[in-house]
Each structure stands twice: as structure tokens, then as C-alpha cells.
Amino acid sequence: MRRTVGYHLTAFAVAGLLSAGGLAVVGSAGLSQHSGPPGIVLTQNSQVNAEELRIILERQLGQHALLAVEAMRAGVTGQEHFDAAAVSLNQNTEDLTESIRLVYGDEGAERFNQLWSDHIDFFVQYTVGVAEDDQQAQDEALQRLDQYRADFGGFLESATEGQLPANDVAELLQMHVNQLITQIDAYAAQDWTTAASQTREAYAHMFGTARGLAGAIVATQPGIDGPLENSAIGLRSQLGQQLGEHAQLAVQAMRSGVSGQPDFEALAGALNANTQDLTASIVSVFGEEGGQAFMEMWADHIDFFVQYTVALAEGDEQGQQDAQARLEQYRQDFSQFLDTASNGNLPADDVAAALQEHVNDLITQVDAFHAGNYSEAFSNAYNAYNHMYMTAEVLAAGIVAHMGETMPEGGVETGGGGTAG
């Protein structure tokens, strides 16, 4: 198996990243709007404001960390879905490249794409070394990642006219490197808990990185108007981070469960920690009673996804139907809860439609994964992650409308945890 994994990954690294196809424009007018596979949010003719720039970079950089983790794990264990994971990771790179193109044009975008693709290749090379127990290959990959840190730091220092000093960027990138390397080392050593914990940290780290990058761009590029920080933006960012992580952790846990992988319990623990973070955010808005009601319903809907996964693994069609019926009831109960708690600022029908899309995305991805249709599974998971950010935008707007002048000046607090901002 080591020889097969090593050959497969090395061929990938030499050939470069797989092409994922064209980009799509994702709208944000409603909770359930999709326009094909989610790609770049803005078009070349769009005028991006500071808030949208921040949210775009947070979403895409966060997704990069999660997809890199999936690809590295699939590679080190020789899983059949490695190619599909690589395609999704490449799609995210293209999305990020188009975001950079909006600000720095073709030359800046192509330089970014080259550097960014290189650093993914170096992570793949490290994964090859771990899979083949080749310490020299691991050391060489780490050396290349160290050079990437210097090169990328210089690129951003120049692009932001010194707002992001190269040494500061290199330090941030060192943390990114450490987190991804630590999680794959732990995963290869079957330390599932450490791997899951490091993944959460890697994801959360990208949000601070995105805010710093967005701030530097806003400070040096004319025409990017509006605030980068306020309580409403902070709430939208926080909900996006937490809901996006929920979707990806649910995807990973369902796939692990349906295929009988040994990391399921660790993923379930990470999913529970994410639920605690989300609950703390809801408590900040709707109080302890509202937070408790949220947590019970949210935990229930995760249980229903697990029940569906178990039934799918066992070929139990009745069990799958029962789980879907419970998810349908959850949609009604949860949408009514948010409608009531927000005094109608989050209409039940709109919330129910958003939840239906969330359910569809997670069910279809695990169905496809179980059937060995990995391209479809990763496409649906890509949708599921991005859909959560559209959901967060509308939820945040409804909460702000509900709270009005009582909105905390500094934004809501999560009370800590792996994704706390």
C-alpha cells in the first residue's frame, strides 16, 4: 500500500493541481439560493466593499485549511477519494485567485496562484514522505515550505505597500504550516483526537489571517469602502465561521461513520465542541433559555444525521426514512424557534428553506460517498460549506434587526473554543 500511495501522490505533486473546471457566481439574496457549484462570490465588474472582502477571504481561507486536511488524510491512508479531494482543493485555490485578481489584477493573481499552488504541492510532498516513512522527503518538503513562507511574505509585503511586513506574514504562515503538519503526523500515528483538535485550530487561524489581509488591502487600495469591523460584521463573521465548520465536520463525521473509520469518535467530539461554540453565540443574543433550546435542537439534528448514516451503512432503508422524517420535524421546530426568538425578523418559512438545503447537501454527499461517487460527494460538500456562509449572512441580519440598539458594541462573545474569534 505504501508504494501505491507514494506513487499516486508523487504523480499528483509533479503534475500540479488537478483542474476543477470553471467558476460560478454565488448569490446571497436569500438563504437557499445556489447558482451551481459555489465559486467566487463577486464578478470582475462588482465593487467589493470592506465587509464583503473580509467575509470572502475568511470563507475561502478557512475552506482551504479544511480541504487541505481532507486531501492530506486521504493521501496518507491511500483512500480512493484522494483525487476528488484534490479537485476540491484546487477549486478553492482558483476561487482565492479570482478574489486576489479583483484587487491586484492579472499579474498579482497569477503570482499568488503560483505561490499558493506551490505550498499545496509541498504539503503533498510531505504527505508522501509520511506515507512512505521517508524522513528525508519530509525534511525536504519542510525546507520548501520554509522558502515559501519567505517568498509569500515578500509578495504580500510588496502588494500591501508594507502594511503586512514579510516577517509578520512568515510568522503567520509558520503557524499554518505547523498546524497542518501536526494534524497529519497525528493522523498517521492514529492519534485521532490530536488530529481533530489541530484541524479546528488550523481552521480558526485562517480567520485572523483573513482579517489581517483584508485590513491591509483596505488600507492601501482605493475604492474599497465601508467598515471592516463593527458588531454586525463581527456577528456575521462569527456565525459564518462556526456554521461553516459545522457543515464540514458533519461531512467528515458522516463519511467516517458510513465507511467505518476509526476517527469517528474524535470527529464527533469536534462536532460537539463546535455545537458548544454556536450555543455560546446564541446565548449572547437570545439569553440562556434561548441558548439551551437551541443546543437541544441543534444536537438533535446532528443525531438524526448520524442515524441516517448508520442506516445507510447497514442498508436499512426504513431507518433512513425515519431519520429523514425526524430531520423534517427538526426543520419545522427550529425555524419556528428562530422566528419566535427574533420577533419575526427571521421568518420561519425562510429558515425552513435554508435548513432543507442544508439537509439535502449533507444527505446527498454521504449517499454519493457511500456509493463511491466521490466527485459528486465533494461537490455537494463544497456546496454545503459555502451555503452556511449565505445562511450566516441572513441570520446575522435578522439578529441585528431584532436587537437594534441593544446589539453589543463589541459584538457577541463565544466564550472560547476552537473556533472562537
Reported as a single tens digit per residue, the pLDDT across 63-122 is: 999 999 999 999 999 999 999 999 999 999 999 999 999 999 999 999 999 999 999 999
Please tell me the distance from the alpha carbon of residue 213 to that of residue 53, in angstroms, as a whole number. Answer: 10
Residue whose grid cell is 463573521: 237
Residue 417 placed within a domain: no
Q: Span 152-181, mean pLDDT?
A: 95
The alpha-carbon radius of gyration of the chain (Å, integer) is 21
Please tell me the distance from the alpha carbon of residue 237 to that of residue 281, in angstroms, as a whole number. Answer: 12
Residue 12 placed within a domain: yes
Domain boundary among 226, 251, 275: 226
Residue 419 placed within a domain: no
pLDDT at 30: 35
Residues 294 and 147 in one domain: no
- For residue 140, the surrounding DSSP H or E stretch is helix 135-159
Summary mean pLDDT of the chain: 87
pLDDT at 309: 98
pLDDT at 404: 82
pLDDT digits (tens, 9 = 90+) for 260-316: 999 999 999 999 999 999 999 999 989 999 999 999 999 999 999 999 999 999 999
Residues 218 and 256 in one domain: no
CB-CB contact of 271 with 245 (8 Å): no
> Does 45 score more than 60 pLDDT?
no
Considering the entire predicted model, what is its pTM? 0.87
The number of residues in the chain equals: 421
Residue whose grid cell is 437594534: 404
Residues 218 and 275 in one domain: no
221 three-class SS: coil
pLDDT at 47: 64
Residue 122 placed within a domain: yes
- Number of structural domains, the chain? 2
Residue 292 placed within a domain: yes
Residue 412 placed within a domain: no
Domain boundary among 226, 244, 269: 226
Residues 195 and 277 in one domain: no
Q: How many CB atoms lie within 10 A of CB 115?
A: 15
Please tell me the distance from the alpha carbon of residue 113 to that of residue 135, in angstroms, as a whole number. Answer: 28
Residues 325 and 179 in one domain: no
pLDDT digits (tens, 9 = 90+) for 215-266: 999 999 988 999 999 999 999 999 999 999 999 999 999 999 999 999 999 9
Domain boundary among 226, 247, 273: 226
Q: Span 321-326, mean pLDDT?
A: 98
CB-CB contact of 305 with 331 (8 Å): no
CA atoms within 13 Å, Cβ hemisphere of 407:
20
The DSSP 8-state label assigned to residue 162 in this structure reads: T
Residues 281 and 202 in one domain: no
What are the Cα distances from residue 276, in Å, to 205, 282, 386, 419?
19, 10, 21, 10
pLDDT at 409: 56
Residue 413 placed within a domain: no
Find the domain containing 70 and state its range: 2-226
Residues 264 and 218 in one domain: no
> Does 24 score more than 70 pLDDT?
no
Greater pLDDT, 84 or 1: 84
Residues 253 and 176 in one domain: no
Residues 109 and 207 in one domain: yes
Residues 212 and 357 in one domain: no
Residue 121 placed within a domain: yes
pLDDT band at residue 18 using 50, 70 and 90 as cut-offs: very low
Which amino acid, residue 190? Q
pLDDT at 44: 39
pLDDT at 94: 97
Residues 210 and 241 in one domain: no
Residues 324 and 285 in one domain: yes
CA atoms within 13 Å, Cβ hemisphere of 75:
31
> Percent of the chain, pLDDT > 90?
83
pLDDT at 408: 63
> Does 145 score more than 60 pLDDT?
yes
> Does 156 score more than 50 pLDDT?
yes
Please tell me the distance from the alpha carbon of residue 336 to that of residue 348, in angstroms, as a whole number. Answer: 5
